Amino acid sequence: MNKLLILPIVLFLAFISSAFVVNEGQSGIVMQFSKVKRDAEGKPVVYPAGLHFKVPMIDTVRIMDTRIQTLDDPADRFVTSEKKDLIIDSYVKWQIDDLAIYYLATGGNKMQAEALLKRKINNGLRSEIGSHTIKDIVSGKRGEVMETALKRMARSSELGIKVIDVRIKKINLPDEVSSSIYKRMRAERQAVAKEHRSQGQEKSEIIRANIDRKVSIMLARANKESLEVRGDGDAISSKIYADSYSQDTEFFAFLRSMEAYEKSFSGKDDVMVLSPDSEFFKYMNSKD
């Protein structure tokens, strides 16, 4: 009875120790005596997602994530062909291409793999960026630069990794360079603003001078016309007076004398010393 119970238990334990599961998005390889298990053609045996079996106590399973990974580290400093520094923030899309080589090169450690890949990618980017100017990298040739860099690093055979994409997220100048550029731009803008103000001031002075000249001309013409009108009025008035007084000269003399009397005696303290038979008192002495 005991032997009947032991056999199923042993078989169950053997099944448990020999079976292994590979999840979706992962692949596995089997190590036999610290060597990668290979098929008849010498290629590593790769186990896709699903349930698989191995030889207990002999085979060791190494399961690795074969999905596309993103390497997104902090920005780094690069030097262009003009010997100018740039702070470039980029990211890399990569994927395991050869599980056996990847495991032997990195021990299946993702952090170790990304550290080695980052070093390789940085070297490739430095080589590519170092052969271009800032204008090329920032302008429309930026895509060409990244495409060339991707072709150089499309397959990292020594790591068993395939680089799918390399992209630049942001390009900045070093802080000290940015500060000097901003100061220069500010000075240039201030110079342009000062020039525009001076030009505006000059134009305003020209406009003001033209307006003053036109006003002076208009006032002169108006004054001339007013003098002409006043002269014409005075001439007409004098003519009317002359025509009126010529009709009765005696009355005209009498009226002029009355006006003279009025103006002469307008003040209470006025004193006049004249002879009683003076011509001035002609109409006062007259008995008619």
d(CA 110, CA 66): 11
Q: Grade residue 75 by pLDDT with cuts at 50, 70 and 90.
A: confident
In the chain, what are the helix, strand and coil shares in percent, each to the nearest 5? 55, 20, 25
User: Looking at 145, 173, 201, which one is the last position of a domain?
Assistant: 173
Q: What range does the domain containing 265 cover?
A: 249-285
Same domain assignment for residues 183 and 91: no
For the stretch 198-226, pLDDT in tens is 888 889 989 998 998 899 999 998 988 88
My answer on whether 95 and 188 are in the same domain is: no
Note whether 136 and 185 are same-domain residues.
no
Instruction: Looking at the structure, tell me whether residues 39 and 24 fall in a common domain.
Output: yes
Q: Among 173, 198, 221, identify where a domain stops.
A: 173
pTM: 0.53
Give pLDDT, residue 269.
66
The pLDDT of residue 12: 61
Contact 61, 54 (CB under 8 A): yes
Residue 109 · residue 157 · CB < 8 Å: no
| Residues 45-55, mean pLDDT to the nearest whole number | 82
Per-residue pLDDT at 110 exceeds 60: yes
Do both 74 and 119 map to the same domain? yes
Domain count, the chain: 4
Predicted local distance difference test score (pLDDT) of residue 188? 85
